Amino acid sequence: MTATVKYDEVEVGHQIPAVDYPVHRVNLVMYAGASGDFNPIHWNERYAKAVGLPDVIAHGMFTMAEAGRFVTDWAGDPGALVDYGVRFSSMVVVPDNDDGAVITVSGVVEDKLDDNRVVIALTARSGDSRVLSKARATVRLA
């Protein structure tokens, strides 16, 4: 595939509209199966609270993956992602109810590089908390 976003059509400061990603406990169980990370803080409320957490929390890498999905969906090609890094700054608490949690991801083009690459600064929030910091992705556009 090739990115569908054109390098010439974006400028520094270009805002990428926010997308909401719902998170329910079943998503965490599926992620645990895929990743092999079965730490009970990600699926067992009793255990999570016993170790001092407010409730079950999403895997940090699950949160990072949702922000990565945001970038590749915007670009139109998962192969367009050249470099990606984040720091985990807060937890995504996932209550066991119909609402679950929501991770909201937005972005802004921070820099234009050679070879049709752009750097995107990402913001990822859940509730009132910024859950990723220093989140940056480099994408090669069409």
In this predicted model, what pLDDT tens digit does every residue of 107-134 receive, in sequence order?
999 999 999 999 999 999 999 999 999 9
Say if residue 1's pLDDT is above 80: no
pTM of the model: 0.95
- Mind listing the pLDDT tens digit for each residue in 13-69? 999 999 999 999 999 999 999 999 999 999 999 999 999 999 999 999 999 999 999
**Interatomic CA distance for residues 13 and 1, integer angstroms:** 26
Name the one residue in this structure whose structure tokens are 């940090």: 60
| Residue 53 burial (10 A CB sphere; 0-12, 13-18, 19+) | middle
